[in-house]
Amino acid sequence: MRKVADQYVVVAIGPASRILNGMIKLNETGAFCWDYLLKGISENELGGGGLF
């Protein structure tokens, strides 16, 4: 994930780029979630773990 101007973007690389050819724009909440997922927090913990 990178912040470009005022937008957060994610670009698939490697084998994932064969499935997703493009980029994903994230809002602030999406960027927050992405950071936690990169730190190893599971989707279940993120959604039901009281982070929000």
> Which tens digits make up the pLDDT trace of 1-52?
999 999 999 998 899 888 988 889 999 999 998 998 889 888 788 776 555 5
11: which residues sit within 8 A by CB, 6+ positions away?
Answer: 17, 22, 23, 24
Instruction: Check residue 7 and give its pLDDT.
Output: 92
Instruction: Check residue 30 and give its pLDDT.
Output: 92
Instruction: Check residue 47 and give its pLDDT.
Output: 75
pTM: 0.69
| Contact (CB, 8 A) for 34 and 26 | yes
Q: How far is C-alpha 43 from the chain's CA centre?
A: 11
For residue 23, the tally of other CB atoms under 10 A from its CB is 13
Instruction: Check residue 45 and give its pLDDT.
Output: 80
